[in-house]
């Protein structure tokens, strides 16, 4: 028995466009903002990253990710947003 998969005709070459902005005013503070879009999925993603180390062994990380849709899928699929806050505290003996 054999299963055959048939794909719709169309363009399947994925092209992505990416833009990333980084800012690091010091070794203790750094941030970045990458944006990416893909032509097949019509997804536009944005991420915000912030890292702050106020002293060795102690730092704060904050991430925000946003995924949205463009083109025909814009109104049919929900946008997604996630946020993460992480506190790192290193204990030494």
Question: What is the tens place of the pLDDT at every residue in 47-75?
Answer: 999 999 999 889 999 999 998 887 777 77
pLDDT for 93 equals 74
Question: What is the tens place of the pLDDT at every residue in 14-56?
Answer: 889 999 999 999 999 999 999 998 887 788 899 999 999 999 8
Q: What is the pTM of this model?
A: 0.69
pLDDT for 41 equals 79
pLDDT for 71 equals 73
Distance of CA 65 to the CA centre of its chain: 5
Q: Which two tokens stand for residue 80?
A: 């997604």
Residue in this structure with the two tokens 């904050």, named with its chain if needed:
62
Cα(63)–Cα(19) distance, rounded to whole angstroms? 17
Cα(81)–Cα(21) distance, rounded to whole angstroms? 20
pLDDT higher at 8 or 55:
55
């Amino acid at each position: 028995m054999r299963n055959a998969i048939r794909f719709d005709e169309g363009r399947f070459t994925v092209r992505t466009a990416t833009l990333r902005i980084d800012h690091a005013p010091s070794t203790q503070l750094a941030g970045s903002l990458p944006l990416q879009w893909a032509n097949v999925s019509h997804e536009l993603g944005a991420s915000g990253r912030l890292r702050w180390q106020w002293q060795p062994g102690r730092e704060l990380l904050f991430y925000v990710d946003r995924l949205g849709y463009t083109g025909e899928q814009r109104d049919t699929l929900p946008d997604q947003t996630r946020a993460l806050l992480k506190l790192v505290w290193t204990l030494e003996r």
